[in-house]
Amino acid sequence: MRPLSFCVAVVSLGSTALAQSPVLHDIGPVTPGAAGSFAMAVNARGDTVVGFGPGTSGSDLAFRWTLAGGVETLPGGNAAFAVSANGSVATGRGGLAAIRWVGLTAQDLQVAPGGTVAAVGTGISGDGMAIVGSATTNQAFRWTPSTGSQWLALPTGATNSGASAISAVGLMVAGSVRTSGRDHAYRWSDGPSGLDLGTLSGGLSSVATAISADGSALAGYGDTASAAAHAFRWTASSGIADLGTLPGTVDSFAFGIGADGSAVVGYATLGTSERAFLWTPALGMVELSQYLAGLGVDLTGWQLNRAQAISADGTAIVGYGVYGIHTHGYVITGLNLGFCPSILIGPGSATACSTGSAGFSVYAAGAASPLTYQWQIEAPAGQWQTLGNDPGPLPCGGGAHAFAFPINSPSVALGISPCPGQNGLAQHINVRCVVANQCGTATSPTSIYTICPADFDCLGGLTVGDIFAYLNAWLAGDPQADTNGGGLAVQDIFDFLNAWFAGCG
């Protein structure tokens, strides 16, 4: 079986299907006069691709390609292997360093400071804020701006690890761990726990190279009883499933998986011959060039060797092949693989005053049918209530209500008034979004809406100005100054000050 490769895919943000017939776009050379390119990953909408290729000096250069602007090199980089949801953030390597690019600004992730150990970023979350990869010390790492680079925990008895990809919301990581000299596909979860995915029937080793948006499905490859390598797809319900190989080939390797886990791409080999494949439950494994030819895609002059990634909305596949005499990266756009919805970036938490509102957004991907959005709050505990444009009453009574505007939108303003009986203290409400299309539904991770009555002037944050604003309202007999709901009294002032000192946390 082949060793773990850094040719991995990432799933990222988007929900818009391109209304066009499928088209193959030639990435071309990275710089004029150079030999070619290798496309490694694609953003959610299929309009941004990253990868690498030789420069005119012979050294590899990292690149970002966009449908609108073509190729641009990423400064300080030799290769890019993963790209964020909107295509603005990428990761890969430059020299010995794992690199994160935000636009055209490069950042050394300081995986192993000192320049004696090489590292590479191979996976990125939908928002570009979490990166995973591997170092030549045979250790997998995870990086965020707040934590910096941290080694992923090894299970008992394991000696080595490598990380290939991270789920869209950044909570699960795909890769492998080595125990007793054998690699096993592995999934790290958010926390110390992890899961050994096992091996194919009769096989001894496996590697996970790609992960779905929510981490529930992984793809990779492993050896079989015949010592051939076969692509696999893993889910909790089916376990590790052998995807077989193309007719006339011996080995197959999976490197990309759809956001909803329903499609896998990679390549199959016979000797030095490589042929890109697409696998779905309905199609089984098919040669990508034959599938595209059936859709009317013009492949004149092309031999598609590898497929590396699928866009999260199922409209694009990227990889590389031979065009003329050189290897060129490609992206096929205008596909419709019929993906169910997937959450790529969940809503963040937000705080608002009692009479204010807070913005929430979710980023999802799905098939060509329109996505619908239902914003919900948990009220009471264990029960989810769908919000509408008009304020709806909350079960806690006392005039408490909540609304979402506009409805059926990925970005909304939520307004929630406080429940009575809390004496002005901050209240925390769970928020989520349910996204649907004709294929199914997906539910976002839960975020928190904090109502902070002590932010009395509604300017955000707590300042002395809130105290003066409250006292002015109390002296004016404003019902809003009735902190404890028992009618205006001196006790309201003490309750407000107690809430102000307690803060909004």
pLDDT at 115: 66
Instruction: Assess whether the previous peptide bond of 406 is cis (omega < 30° from 0).
Output: yes
- Of 274, 278, 300, 297, nearest to 287 (Cα)? 278
How many Cα atoms are found within 13 Å in the side-chain-facing hemisphere of 245?
Answer: 20
Structure tokens at 73: 């090199």
Yes or no: say if 344 and 44 are a contact pair by the CB < 8 Å rule. Answer: yes
pLDDT at 330: 98
Give how far the C-alpha of residue 207 lies from the chain's centroid of Cα atoms, to the nearest Å: 20
Phi and psi at residue 289, to the nearest 5°: -65, -35
Structure tokens at 341: 């919805």
Q: pLDDT tens digits, residue range 75-121?
A: 999 999 999 999 999 999 999 999 999 999 999 999 977 666 899 99
Q: What angle do CA 179, 183, 187 make, to 5 degrees?
A: 95
pLDDT at 21: 87
What amino acid occupies position 404?
A
Strands 97-102 and 105-108, bridge-based pairing: antiparallel
End-to-end CA distance of the chain: 52
* Angle, helix 464-475 to helix 490-502, in steps of 10 degrees: 160
Who contacts 472 (Cβ-Cβ below 8 Å, separation ≥6)? none
CA distance 482 to 470: 10
Torsion region of 498: left, alpha or beta (phi above 0 gives left; psi -120 to 50 gives alpha): alpha
Q: What is the DSSP code (8-state) at residue 416?
A: E
CB-CB neighbours of 430 under 10 Å: 15
Token pair 């979350």: residue: 125
Give how far the C-alpha of residue 412 lies from the chain's centroid of Cα atoms, to the nearest Å: 21
Give how far the C-alpha of residue 387 lies from the chain's centroid of Cα atoms, to the nearest Å: 26
CB-CB neighbours of 391 under 10 Å: 16
Structure tokens at 3: 């060793």
Q: What angle do CA 185, 189, 193 make, to 5 degrees?
A: 90
Q: What angle do CA 438, 444, 449 make, to 5 degrees?
A: 135
Token pair 């959450």: residue: 343
Structure tokens at 144: 């965020």
CA distance 159 to 151: 13
CA distance 455 to 13: 34
CA distance 458 to 173: 40
pLDDT at 430: 97
Structure tokens at 214: 């929510």
Yes or no: say if 307 and 251 are a contact pair by the CB < 8 Å rule. Answer: no
438 CB-contact burial (10 Å; exposed 0-12 / middle 13-18 / buried 19+): middle
H runs (alpha helix) in 146-299: 288-294
CA distance 316 to 337: 9
Q: What is the DSSP code (8-state) at residue 497?
A: H
What amino acid occupies position 16?
T
CA distance 64 to 80: 8
- Which residue numbers in the chain have pLDDT < 50? 1-19
Sheet hosting strand 23-26, strand order edge to edge: 23-26, 326-333, 317-323, 302-310
- Of 314, 290, 310, 294, nearest to 302 (Cα)? 290
Q: Whats the size of the chain, residue-wise?
A: 505
CA distance 455 to 469: 10
Question: pTM for the full model?
Answer: 0.89
Read out DSSP for 278-344? EEETTTEEEEHHHHHHHTT---TTEEEEEEEEE-TTSS-EEEEEEETTEEEEEEEES----PPPEEE
CA distance 281 to 244: 12
Strands 447-451 and 350-352, bridge-based pairing: parallel
pLDDT at 56: 85
